[in-house]
Amino acid sequence: MSQARQQDFDLFEVYPINSQWLVDLLKGRDWLTAGAILKEIERPDSDSARRRLRATAEASKGRIAGGQLGYKLVAEMKQEEFFHFRNWMLSQAKAMQRRISQADKVWYNRQAVPS
């Protein structure tokens, strides 16, 4: 793994997140799972490392798609891949909105909790 990729990953805690190293790693490649990426950059496969990776992809300003298949550059996706990713994300957003709405109903209809 290049020293720059390792340093960028290690500096994850510093905001804003630099996702360029992940863009560079994904260029010209098919879907890569989080486990495969972490192995390639010689990092342990842990929940915190996967969260770091997910946040790095989220900070890519739409350049990196993430999902069940792993991570891939949006600009290099086939049309079918893009619309599958897009529809999956929209479905997740709707599910989250539904959950918030249900929680709101519970919260606002509850009895006041004694202090």
Q: What is the pLDDT along the chain (115 residues), one digit of tens a residue?
A: 565 555 555 545 545 578 999 999 999 999 999 999 999 998 999 998 999 999 999 999 999 999 989 999 999 999 999 999 999 999 999 999 999 999 999 999 987 777 7
Topology of domain 1-74, CATH: Arc Repressor Mutant, subunit A (1.10.10)
Q: What is the pTM of this model?
A: 0.78
Give the residue among 93, 9, 6, 90 at the shortest CA–CA distance from 54. 9
Structure tokens at 108: 């606002």
